[in-house]
């Protein structure tokens, strides 16, 4: 156990339907504090209405691709991931402002990386808005590298896209690697990963 984990009695687990309100709370609280100074209140209002409603969040919980961080039985952070074509994207990673800097984001990210590897992905993608320097540093320290800039348009901030090469620091143990491998023992290539058909495209979540 790392020193950070020893200080932070946090459990990372898959979210269930019972976590819906807590997940929404993490998003709403963290979005305001993070994005109002960077992108303004209109951007925050737009994002909360688009990506942080029950309808936007439930599909990711239903398919088991939303994680929560529990501390003393309270949800203090969340992450969600999903497919975009054949690629896997970390759509959301949020830790309540009062709980940041304690290693919780890192632990949520590590779990997403583990699951991405187990699904056979070799790359994990993420984006942050231009100006979110804290997130940029966090991802860079955790092995993500810049890939491209996506113009926001209509006065919205640009998205900075990053990718992490999962093969470089494969976090799977031998047993987990065996579970993720195909019957002939090879880890499934990216293009054999089934698309996330269980979430209708219009309901895929982001941010
Ligand atoms: C970005 C975010 C998810 C990172 O989560 P976090 O829990 O704050 O991150 P961690 O604590 O794992 O790591 C952050 C730093 O705290 C340090 N840290 C870890 N454990 C620590 C501890 N016990 N005490 C103090 N610092 C600690 C880490 O070493 C790291 O430092 P570094 O960046 O210099 O390496 C979180 O800050 C957040 O929600 N930010 C606002 C929303 C956001 O921008 N989300 C990303 C959207 S793209």
State which residues form the domain around 51. 8-187
Cα 184 to Cα 173: distance, rounded to the nearest angstrom: 18
Ligand 1 pocket check for 102: Cβ under 6 Å: yes
Q: Indicate which atom in ligand 1 lies nearest the CA of residue 132.
A: 44
Q: How many domains does the chain have?
A: 1
Q: Indicate which atom in ligand 1 lies nearest the CA of residue 129.
A: 48
3-state SS track over 7-43: HCCEEEEECCHHHHHHHHHHHHHHHHHHHHHHHCHHH
Q: In 3D, which of 13, 112, 20 has the Cα closest to residue 58? A: 20
Q: Indicate which atom in ligand 1 lies nearest the CA of residue 141.
A: 35
End-to-end CA separation in angstroms for the chain: 30
| 104 domain-assigned | yes
| 147 domain-assigned | yes
| 202 domain-assigned | no
Q: Indicate which atom in ligand 1 lies nearest the CA of residue 99.
A: 7
User: Would you say 112 and 121 are in contact if contact means Cβ atoms under 8 Å apart?
Assistant: no
Cα 87 to Cα 190: distance, rounded to the nearest angstrom: 8
Domain containing 69 — which CATH number? 3.40.630.30
| 111 domain-assigned | yes
3-state DSSP assignment of residue 55: helix
| 52 domain-assigned | yes
Ligand 1 pocket check for 137: Cβ under 6 Å: yes
For residue 186 the two structure tokens come to 């090879």
Ligand 1 pocket check for 132: Cβ under 6 Å: yes
| 122 domain-assigned | yes
Tell how far the Cα of 133 is from the centroid of ligand 1, in angstroms: 12
Q: Indicate which atom in ligand 1 lies nearest the CA of residue 128.
A: 48
| 1 domain-assigned | no
Return the pLDDT at 6: 54
| 197 domain-assigned | no
Ligand 1 pocket check for 95: Cβ under 6 Å: yes
**Tens digit of each residue's pLDDT, the chain (207 residues):** 555 555 558 999 999 999 999 999 999 999 999 999 999 999 999 999 999 999 999 999 999 999 999 999 999 999 999 999 999 999 999 999 999 999 999 999 999 999 999 999 999 999 999 999 999 999 999 999 999 999 999 889 999 999 999 987 654 444 444 444 333 333 333 333 344 434 544 445 567
Return the pLDDT at 3: 56
User: Would you say 194 and 86 are in contact if contact means Cβ atoms under 8 Å apart?
Assistant: no
Return the pLDDT at 169: 64
Ligand 1 mutation target, pool 105, 113, 205, most atoms within 8 A of CB? 105
Cα 38 to Cα 32: distance, rounded to the nearest angstrom: 10
Sheet holding 159-165, edge to edge: 10-14, 66-71, 74-84, 87-95, 123-129, 159-165, 144-150
Q: Going by CA atoms, what residue is nearest to atom 2 of ligand 1?
A: 105
Return the pLDDT at 183: 38
Cα 170 to Cα 86: distance, rounded to the nearest angstrom: 19
């Amino acid at each position: 156990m790392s020193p950070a984990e020893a200080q932070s009695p946090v459990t990372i687990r898959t979210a269930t339907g019972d976590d819906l309100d807590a997940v929404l709370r993490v998003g709403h609280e963290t979005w305001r504090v993070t994005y109002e100074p960077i992108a303004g209140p209109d951007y925050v209002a737009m994002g909360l209405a688009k990506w942080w409603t029950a309808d936007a969040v439930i599909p990711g919980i239903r398919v088991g691709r939303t994680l929560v961080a529990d501390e003393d039985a309270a949800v203090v952070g969340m992450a969600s991931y999903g497919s975009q074509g054949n690629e896997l994207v970390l759509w959301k990673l949020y830790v309540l402002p009062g709980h940041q800097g304690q290693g919780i984001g890192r632990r949520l990210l590590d779990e997403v990386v583990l699951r991405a590897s187990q699904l056979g992905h070799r790359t994990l993608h993420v984006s942050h808005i231009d100006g979110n320097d804290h997130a940029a540093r966090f991802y860079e320290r955790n092995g993500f590298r810049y890939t491209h800039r996506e113009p926001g348009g209509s006065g919205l901030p640009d998205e900075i896209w990053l990718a992490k090469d999962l093969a470089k620091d494969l976090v799977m143990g031998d047993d987990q690697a065996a579970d993720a491998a195909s019957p002939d023992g090879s880890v499934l290539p990216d293009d054999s990963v089934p698309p996330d058909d269980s979430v209708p495209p219009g309901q895929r979540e982001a941010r």
